[in-house]
A = this chain, B = another copy of it.
Amino acid sequence: MDKTSPLYAQRHSAAHLLALAVKEQFDGAQLGTGPVTEHGFYYDVRTSTPITDADLKTLEKIIKKRIAQRLPFVRDEMSLEEARVLFAERNEPYKLELIDKIADRGAESVSVYRTGDSFVDLCEGPHVEHSGEINAKALKLTTLSGAYWQADEHNDQMTRIYGVLFSTPEELAEYEAMLREAARRDHRKLGKALDLFTFSDLVGPGLPLWTPRGALLRQLLDDYVWELRANHSYTRVAIPHITKKALYETSGHWQKFADELFRITSREGKDYAMKPMNCPHHTQIFARKPHSYRELPQRYAETTMVYRDEQSGELGGLTRVLSITQDDAHIFCRHNQLREEFFGVWDIIDTFYTTFGFTFKTVRLSFHDPDHPEKYLGTPDTWAKAEQTLRDIAAARGVDAEEAPGEAALYGPKVDFIATDSLGRTHQVATIQLDMNLPERFDLTCINEAGEKERIVMIHCAIMGSLERFIAVLLEHTAGKLPVRFAPVQAVVLPISDAHREYAMHVRDNLTATGARVDVRADGTTLGKRIRDAQTEQIPYMLIVGDQEVSTNTVAVRSRDDGDLGTMDYEAVRTCLES
């Protein structure tokens, strides 16, 4: 959020009050860092006795008392040495580490903020003038979690205390209502209610198993992406899910992807890895033979799984999984074809997400971190050129683009599409990535008009990105009410009694003959129960048939969204199902 807004200063100041409260309440507590978040703030602290949920109330009370005291926030500039003495006296080893880092960057002084008599924190600001500027009624401590110091698992483990803070109590209430709605829409609950996926203790967390309905949903979504690709001459390719180490040594993944790679040693002692991405394999398909410039661009696409050795604590539902299904595509083209190819993918992304009612407020230009060139493949020159290309393309496309240094892929900068869902939450979804590095590493060329080898360039793109993540987002966005076109079961025929069962099957056969996905449900339970079940499963239409419908060759239609729609003939139902 905007660092100059009053709310930013209020949230940041609330983080200091939280740290102050922890120091008061937990003897010897040591402070990490406490930044502002999307809806509030957090602070990472280390205490000798564990902090529990019960402590949150107490800490919140202390914060609110300090707010009422209108404590001044006073900035103080001092030399590095003075700061070291100050934080050493206060037994704050993490702050000392931060001072060393500041010194490494060549700074000669630091700023601290004092709050009241006893509290001081190393901080750049900005802050409120005094704590009375914070609206205590719009503040709440929410949750605890574990975190490693500086996000490095080899470092000390700390406790992260989260709080939210808004300008008004009404905004806090609105936020809490959104959270309740989000909990109601939790994709894990909906996945079970709609019978889309399941987990097995024997298979393990992070490894979803897709049921008939869930696998059909994946297929319908993937078919739609292929339909959108049809005007752009994509071809399918297919690759194995493992490779010899040599492929990733050449691509650079073996060195840079270190921890997240699932490694395998064969019975003969050979090193293999499960693929964490598909691009290196796809380069080998491109490289199978020389290509004339006339054959470019080549656009390879494949929906396939990649694997990441995530820590089990990070796994949950579909949003963090060990096996990720990507609708992955790679375009091999010449430099002068880049813009047109980017536009082509961008069109597909726009159409796809509009279909589901997602909006893109902005795109993110994910660039490399100039302070850490060692994290990436390629030279500064190549990066500068590639990043400027993306800036130009975004400008030509006429969108708001936000630059995010440090968010690039290993091999190049990205345009990331951030979708806003129906609850106002944002999710990173599609991506288009420019890559001038893998073509170097794998020596990918075309034969140009002069008969010479010419270095080509690659575009990596995914429309859904991870199917697992997209389906989680889609379920929460729609509260499980999938568009009729993508509902695995579009309608269920409910015979009122056994006498109408045969007619129900006739209705189903009539509708499925033209491609609709229709089931009959006649399991001996009451009509009321079967309607409630279909509603829980969010099946778009219930087609109820009794004596009257049999005699008039019609169905009584009930919509998931709009209730009773009255009697319809088959053609009218067909029109509903094709909507």
Interface residues of A (CB under 8 A from B): 195, 198, 200-204, 207-212, 214-216, 218-219, 235-244, 246-247, 250, 259, 262-264, 266-268, 270, 272, 274, 280-281, 284-285, 287-289, 292, 294, 298, 300, 302, 305, 307, 309, 311-312, 321-323, 325, 523
Evaluate contact between A309 and B207: CB separation under 8 angstroms.
no
**Are A209 and B281 in touch, CB under 8 angstroms?**
yes
Task: Give the chain B neighbours of A247 by CB distance below 8 A.
Answer: 200, 202-203
The CA of A270 and the CA of B207, in the complex, are separated in Å by 14
Do A264 and B263 touch across chains, with their CB atoms under 8 A apart?
yes
Q: Is the interface of A mostly helix, strand, loop or mixed?
A: mixed
Counted per complex, copies of this chain come to 2
Q: Given A209-B237, A236-B212: A312 and B268 within 8 A (CB)? A: yes
Chain B residues within an 8 Å CB radius of A200: 247, 284, 287-288
A235 contacts B215, C-beta separation under 8 Å:
yes
Given A237-B211, A243-B207, A284-B209, A267-B202 contact (CB < 8 Å): no
Cα A202 to Cα B289 in complex, Å, equals: 15
Contact between B284 and A198 (Cβ–Cβ < 8 Å)? yes
Q: Is the CB of B211 within 8 A of A242?
A: no
A202 touches B323 (CB 8 A): no
Who on chain B is nearest to A213 by CB? B235
Residues of chain B with a CB closer than 8 A to A288's CB: 195, 198, 200, 209, 211
A204-B243, A242-B323 given. 14 additional CB < 8 A pairs?
A195-B289, A198-B288, A200-B287, A202-B284, A203-B240, A203-B244, A208-B240, A209-B281, A210-B239, A212-B236, A216-B236, A218-B238, A262-B264, A264-B274
Contact between chains at A237 and B266 (CB < 8 Å)? no
Q: Would B272 and A267 count as touching, CB distance under 8 A?
A: no
A237 near B264 with CB under 8 A, answer: no
Contacts of A244 in B (CB 8 A): 202-204, 207
Once bound together, how far apart are the Cα atoms of A234 and B211, in whole Å? 12
Contacting A242 at CB < 8 Å: which of B201, B212, B262, B289?
B262
Q: A241-B305, A322-B242 are in contact. Are A311 and B236 (CB under 8 A)?
A: no
With CB as the reference atom, state the residue of chain B lying closest to A273. Answer: B264
Residues on the B chain within 8 Å of A298, using CB: 212
The contact of A202 among B203, B214, B250, by CB within 8 Å, is B250
Question: In the bound complex, do residue A214 and residue B198 qualify as a contact, i.e. CB atoms below 8 Å apart?
Answer: no
Pair B300/A203 contact, Cβ less than 8 Å: no
The 20 listed contacts between A and B (C-beta, < 8 Å) are A195-B289, A198-B284, A200-B284, A202-B243, A202-B250, A204-B243, A204-B272, A207-B240, A209-B284, A209-B288, A210-B239, A210-B285, A212-B237, A240-B305, A241-B323, A242-B262, A259-B267, A262-B272, A263-B264, A268-B311
What's the least CB distance linking A201 to chain B, in Å? 7
Q: How far is the CA of A263 from the CA of B208 in the complex (A)?
A: 20
Rounded to whole angstroms, the CA-CA distance of A254 and B556 in the bound complex is 54
